[in-house]
Amino acid sequence: MKIVVGGVGLVSALGSGVDANIAAMREGRSGIAPSPSILRTGNKIPVGEVALTNDELHRRLNIPIDCHLSRTALLGISAVREAMNDARIPQGLRVGIVSATSVGGMDLTENFFREFIADESRGRLRDVRMHDCGAGTDAIARYCGIEGYRTTISTACSSAANAIMTGARLIRHGVADCVVAGGTDALSAFTLNGFKSLMILDEKPCRPFDESRAGLNLGEGAGYVVLLRGEDAADPYCTLAGYANRNDAYHQTASSADGEGAYLAMSDALAVAGIEPSQVGYINVHGTGTPNNDASEGAAMQRLFGSHIPPFSSTKGFTGHTLAAAGGIEAVFSSLAVKYGLLYPNINFKKPIDGRGPVPVCEFAEGKDIKYVLSNSFGFGGNCSSLVFAK
């Protein structure tokens, strides 16, 4: 059975909608900026923040403000609606959703605790009703008219890629005819402070695969693809040809130096797709900009591709690392890369790791003959996932 991507939807720090995101990348314009509003302190931490308040998102989506949805859910609804409209899903199909998130409704939960900590008799309980990760998925389904199977995945930064794999399996096993799959995450003080405690936030715009890389920039957003059987799609972007999830079981937050998990995920995804490494035309790497990730992922690519690493880049210099949403956002970028022959620039790159590491694409290009794209999403705990999209 051929599973295809029939529609795509996206919101990130680059803008709302696929067209706005691609236009920004074509111009080399990053969405990373200092002083996230979520901290309310003026702290100069570079992040990829969506330039819309929750109230503005409610109005744009025509959802009453008194429905009081989490930012994670609102971003997800925005991207899912675009993807479903783009796909023009045929009537009569059983439509399900597999949505990924890490923070859930943390932004609203923080509002509750700001008041509760000051006075235990205060704090609005409506601010915690969307705390659970599944609450956001339920809200997305409700406001996007999805009545079929639904579930939520949270496996750190590989979450949305795993959601897409799960969606494909649901179609293959007859649980659904069509699945909207991807992820959504919003910035929160909890997340920013947590990553700061790990000492992996960069105080400057991130520089994936550069020798001077010093950490990541967090971001927020949502990215979803609509998966269908080939015969049910009007004008598909590409085929989801292969996928794999592997774990190197090396460390709670670090990847192994030899990139074992990344290597296994990539090589097994290519095997499922039935292609050789030499057939890959572009890799959207995980590329967080941390010293550990980029060295590990680079080692895995050199192990798999040898001296012939395909054109690759990290798009996180544009969007920030959107955690559970990253694999969904980058699946959208990958689908567009296959359909339109796009190569995205790895901005802020100047010098390869140790002077001899792999060199990413640094200029936007289109109209390339790209038959296969590999998209990597690697999470904490060694949870490594790779997707293969084919023309």
Output Rg (C-alpha) for the chain, integer angstroms.
19
Amino acid at 381: G
Active site residue 68: no
Strand, helix or coil for residue 309:
coil
Which residue in the list 131, 133, 178, 286 is annotated as catalytic? 286
Q: Give phi and psi for 226, each to the nearest 5.
A: -100, 115
Active site residue 321: yes
Which residue in the list 58, 178, 321, 384 is annotated as catalytic? 321
Q: In angstroms, rounded to a whole number, what is the distance separating the alpha carbons of residues 317 and 213?
A: 11
* Segment holding 291, helix H or strand E: helix 291-305
Active site residue 286: yes
Token pair in block for residue 367? 């109209």
Which residue in the list 133, 157, 178, 384 is annotated as catalytic? 157
Amino acid at 50: V
Are the C-beta atoms of 25 and 345 separated by less than 8 Å?
yes
- Give CA separation, 88 vs 24, 148, 196, 264, in Å: 26, 17, 42, 36
Burial class (CB in 10 A: 0-12, 13-18, 19+), 175: middle
Instruction: Quickly list DSSP for 143-175.
Output: HHT--S-EEEE-BTBTHHHHHHHHHHHHHHTTS
> Which residues are designated catalytic?
157, 286, 321
